[in-house]
Each structure stands twice: as structure tokens, then as C-alpha cells.
Amino acid sequence: MPPTIGVLALQGDFHEHAVSLRALGAVAREIRKPEQLHGLDGLIIPGGESTTIARLLLAYDLHAPVRERGAAGLPIWGTCAGAILLADDVPGLDRPPLALLPMTVERNAYGRQVDSFETDLEAPALPPTPAGTRPPYHAIFIRAPRIRALRGGVDVLMAHEAEPVAVRYRSLLATTFHPELTPDHRWHRYFLETIVAASPAGAAAEAAGGGAA
């Protein structure tokens, strides 16, 4: 059975994530209601506008069930705005983050959208390409946050100019760039093959979240 991965579809690049997941053979489910969290093997919180997504999580009664499932071990990957929402310390965010990942994140730290950039980065944690090579990863940063501090055993998987841009904590993955905007699906493969495949996500997370809400 292919894994079923939810993509939070309240705002942001959820469609692009779903396309990447399906290209790798996973089932992608757009999540807009608490009951749609039932039966997931993992969840992606996409890039977008962090304040808007934080408000919509509360408005759609998704904040508590997502947080409960994440705390119980459901693999969750946050990209850009999603990484902000996973953090437990986000100065200036006017709604509570999910506070699952022990790190401090600064929003829009590289400046305005016109100051966004792309760069090639070494990513030894990623699986090889179908050709068996490990080329640098072409990362796209759009109004990207900066990870200012890590606590409690968070692993750095990729860095830009000595600053972490991809980190893992238990079954949580956070990237400050946008893997969904490139044809290189290696970060999606990493999430599926390294985190989701190794996690007993379903039963424990469902029990903690009370099943279908």
C-alpha cells in the first residue's frame, strides 16, 4: 500500500506538493477539515503566508488536532511557512505556532520577495538520484525564514552559509526553502522513505488525536 500523505490545503503551495508526492507513487490528500486527518501516514504544511495559515488553522479547528498528532509521532514536514509553524519560538507571529519543533525562527529574514534567491547546496542526507549520483540540491528561497537557534537534539540536514535550512527532529522535518517548486523530488523522497516509512504513524497518532474529529 502506498503511503497516504496529507497536504494542508488552506493557503500556499499545496497543489505543487501533491504533484510531487504523486510523482513518487504516494497518495496525496488535501486537508481542509479535521476529519480529513484520519488515516494519514504523514502531513505536509506548505509554504505560503505564515500568519494567514496560522489563523486558518485556528478558524478551521485544525490547530489542536494537527498538534496532537504531531506530538504523538505523526511525521510532519513544514516548508518555509510550514517550518515557521512547526517551531516553538516565532517572534512576531500573532497566532500560536504548533510548537512541535524546538527552534527559534525569524520570519521573512532575507527581506522582501524581490530579494528571494536560488542556490545550489550540498545535501548528503538526501537519497541518490535514479542515476545513482548525489548532485547538489538547487534550493529556492522565497521570503524565507531563518532558523536562529536549535534546541533539544535537532539535526541539521542542509545548510546555507553555515546557517541551517533543513532540520529534522524525531518525525518532524523543516525546510526553509521550497522543494515543491523544483523538478528534483529528493526531499519528498527523503520524507517518504526515511521518515514516513520508519514511523508507526497511524495507530499512535490516531489514538492521541481521538481518531476522526
Q: Which residues are catalytic?
A: 80, 178, 180
Closest alpha carbon to 145 in 95, 186, 93, 98: 93
Whether the Cβ atoms of residue 13 and residue 44 lie closer than 8 Å to each other: no
Angle subtended at Cα 92 by Cα 13 and Cα 69, rounded to the nearest 5 degrees: 55
